[in-house]
Amino acid sequence: MGPLSGYRVIELAGLGPCPMAGMLLADMGAEVICIDRGGNLPPLYTEDMSRRGKKSIVVNLKSPQGRETLLQLIATADVLIEGFRPGVTEKLGIGPQDCHAVNPALVYGRMTGWGQTGPLAHNAGHDINYISITGALHAIGVKGQKPVVPLNLVGDFGGGTMFLVSGVLAALLEAKNSGKGQVVDAAMVDGAANLMWMCHSFHASNMWNFNERGVNMLDGGAFYYDTYETADGKYVAIGAIEPQFFTTLVEKGGLDPDIFNLHTQNDADQWDAKKAILAEVIKQKSRDEWCALLENTDACFSPVLTAHEAFDYPHNRERDAYIELDGYKQPAPAPRFSRTRSEVRHGQHPPGHDTRTVLEHLGLSGDAIQTLLEQGAVE
């Protein structure tokens, strides 16, 4: 039923951003076939939520028969996504030129940290490295302290996965008109740089200081956009930027209007002092008490929940934001569609689970499949 129903995606197995892209495409209805490698599985591979909804075949890409089998499968696909270093798939004989020779309309999505070109293109790296050269990492943290690592959300998944998916979908739309495929070079450094667009806009308007962290409106510098500890050692988040929301926070929260008023709200010279006062006020009540006062208002207030608490939070529960699959809870498909609903069709399949089925649908006979198995071309 998903909007990508009828599309076939080949995913060369890996970890992180590229597998998440495959998960999102599978959730949206695409048939995603993961090309796994045999041998020992990487840590956590057997509990990898990104494998949900995907089929799995094991192909020996170093075998001529395995490579030929994969190219036959690629000839039937709409998309291929891979997350190797530049040049690796070319060496394996399944680079863009090889694949377009058998399928000119194929969208070839490439996910890397540094990109396909540039002096760092062949270097190893991780999320923290990619966001560090875009200014994103420097901007995150407390005033006067070192940068804070924002999990691996900004580079891997925000700058990586989301730009790979949007690029693949755009190329698919274009291919329907031109009949021609193309390569999508999705680099985490490019994506993370784009995620910084609003900070650059503020800076151009003299509203953002790139030299210091924790002194700007959206980086924890402003007292009205920060987290605060409550009486029970938990935390709440406040983001009352706009005047009407700030007024609601002051009124509903019982704050002193002589201190917290619209006239001085954006006087940065007073932010530290007001933050200290607000911290003392917030610490007088428990998180639940503040929720009772400010939830369901326009104060731009929310409790800071642990991942486990998020499962049972009323708003998340009402929207079915999490599902249970393979014995544990995980995020439900997003975004949501009114007519072609996304869904998780099944849990994760172990490597090789669908080898025979996929090859049968490709038109190979039982004897041909058995020969490939005996040759070690597939498992």
Give catalytic residue positions. Answer: 126, 156
Say which DSSP state 343 is in: -
| Own/partner pairs, 120-126, CB within 8 angstroms, 24+ separation | 121/85, 121/86, 122/85, 122/86, 122/87, 126/152, 126/155
Nearest alpha carbon to residue 377 among 110, 61, 30, 55? 61
Structure tokens at 375: 């040759």
SS3 283: coil
| CA angle at 164 for the pair 358 and 120, rounded to the nearest 5° | 115
Cα→Cα distances 148→136, 213, 235, Å: 10, 10, 18
Burial of 121-140, coded b for 16+ CB within 10 Å and e otherwise, reads eeeebebbbbbbebbbbebb
Question: Which among 44, 164, 151 is positioned nearest to 113, based on CA atoms?
Answer: 164
Question: Token match 């900070």: residue?
Answer: 199
For the sheet with 182-187, list strands across it.
55-58, 31-36, 8-12, 79-82, 107-112, 182-187
Amino acid identity for residue 322 in this structure: Y
DSSP 8-state class, residue 378: B
Strands annotated E in 85-173: 107-112
